[in-house]
Amino acid sequence: MARVRTGVRATGAVLAVALGASLAGCSSTGGKRAEERAAASQAASEGRSAVNTPRWTFAMITHSGDGDTFWDIVQKGADEAAGKDNINFLYSHNDEAQQQAQLVQTAIDKKVDGIIVSLAKPEAMKDVLAKATKAGIPVITVNSGSAESKAYGALTHIGQDESIAGEAVGDELNNRGRENALCVLHEQGNVGHEQRCAGVKKNFDGKITNLYVDGTNMPDVQASIEAKLQTDKSIDAVVTLGAPFADAAVQAKKSAGSDAEIDTFDLNAKVAAGLKAKTLGFAVDQQPFLQGYEAVDLLWLYRFNRNVLGGGQPVLTGPQIITAADADALAEYTARGTR
């Protein structure tokens, strides 16, 4: 019996040692992970990188940029993600398609680790994106060009489907009982703008007329809309395709003595204020901050872990219909320039 008890005690001792070692191992691993999480949290709170990966260089090249409230928000999102992901972020833009393509070529020549690009005029970007793919540089497209993104070799597209967004506007106009709408295009040749107005026409039960204006000349934009409202008093809705043009439409409405409702694509602080004051009917938000943020973040994930989102389909950030009921809740974010 004594020998049996001794064996039991010996076996118990071995098990205790093994269990202790196992628990110590778990504690060590858990402690290390906790320390890593704490370090990452502290780094983020101090505005430093929260990751320990190489300082890759990503270039974003868009068809519009500094001074445009929409693209300012896109850039803020990209900057935020770049800081978190330890990315050297390069931003450039040009509204001339060939010049935008040249900026992409410059990024290729610099041997950047990833490229983010908008495809407002996709045909002009086709050849240079093929060069990026051949050079082994991963590409993500944002905002415009979702239909061409995959064919041009991009990993994914981040933005709203412009046709779907236009259709949502058509439905909203129907819900509001509108019958004669004006769709104001401020950049000729921009495929996304054409898709928006085509989408409105597809779902809108009333009459829709496209009005082309020079978006670089705001007084001309206002005068063109005013002239149209004066000529056709039956127009009861004006849809602008960018937040800065909504105010011009509001002023044109006043000058023309029109009762038309002014609605717009995109959101900023001034649009939110207009919604609250009910000088605007509704806005279509495609969350530009998210487009910039996710583009950088997804490129980082691809470089770090070969992750790709979308399953071959665009990663949609919109459309979201915003009305006066949403204005107060969004005021804080529009004021800081992130919505």
Q: What is the pLDDT of residues 245-264, one digit of tens each?
A: 999 999 999 999 999 999 99
Return the CATH architecture of domain 162-285.
Answer: 3-Layer(aba) Sandwich (3.40)
- The two tokens of residue 194 are 């054409």
- According to DSSP, the residues that pair with 158 across neighbouring strands are 142, 315
Residue by residue, DSSP assigns 26-92 as HHHHHHHHHHHHHHHHHHHHTTS-S--S---EEEEEESS-TT-HHHHHHHHHHHHHHHHTT-EEEEE
Task: Write out the residue limits of the CATH 3.40.50.2300 domain(s) in the chain.
Answer: 57-160+288-308, 162-285
What is the pLDDT confidence band of residue 66, given thresholds at 50, 70 and 90?
confident
Alpha-carbon radius of gyration of the chain: 27
CB atoms within 10 A of CB 159: 29
Contact (CB, 8 A) for 85 and 49: yes
Q: What is the pLDDT of residue 29?
A: 43
Neighbours of 157 (CB within 10 A): 27
What is the rounded CA–CA span in Å between residue 281 and residue 322? 9
Structural class in CATH, domain 57-160+288-308: alpha beta
The pLDDT, as a whole number, for residue 65 is: 79
CA 249, 253, 254: angle at the middle one, nearest 5? Answer: 120
**Confidence category of residue 224, pLDDT binned at 50, 70, 90:** very high
Neighbours of 75 (CB within 10 A): 22
Give mean pLDDT, residues 47-53: 73
